[in-house]
Amino acid sequence: TGGWQRRHTVGGQLVYPTQDEGWTPSGELRAAVDGALREANSAGYAALSIDLGGAVVLAADEPGLTSLKAALPPVARGRTRFPLSLPGHSAFHTPLMAPMAAELEQTPPFAPPTSPLVDGSGRLWPAGGEACDVAALREYTIHEQVVA
């Protein structure tokens, strides 16, 4: 995905906290995220990409990113300022990545992993030969990880 990513960046991602400085969930920050997403979707496309528990990763096309950056109130955590753009990132985990998934479908089949893998949902993909359903691992990687 790295080569495709460098050639075909699609939108981008940014990080925004959803907890206050005391690590307590903040309804105010969560409401700011929800409102910014609504505004961004009237300008372009934006979606929650990853909920990290104390922060969210938002993904959007260029108009959506511009809107998110304007709508989210600036927040500081130490020396870090939010919203924080993630350089070199596309709008991963959104439908905007469907062209990348289609291109990845044309790549060679996966080889079985040589070490056990644990995916983002906690599923274990065992190492070696027939122990791992390589077709299911490929489907998960290309579709659930890139697009969903």
More confident residue, 34 or 6: 34
pLDDT of residue 68: 98
How much is the pLDDT for 142? 85
Residue type, 53: G
94/7: higher pLDDT:
94
Q: pTM score, two decimals? A: 0.80
- For 86-144, give the DSSP string: -TT---TTSGGGHHHHHHHTTSPPPPPPSS-EE-TTS-EE--SGGGS-HHHHHHIIIII
58-78 confidence digits (pLDDT tens): 999 999 999 999 999 999 999
What's the confidence (pLDDT) of residue 3?
61
Mean pLDDT of 123-132: 87
Query: What pLDDT digit, counting tens, does each position of 14-61 carry?
Result: 999 999 999 999 999 999 999 999 999 999 999 999 999 999 999 999
Nearest partner of 58 among 74, 75, 41, judged by Cα: 41
Per-residue pLDDT at 117: 92
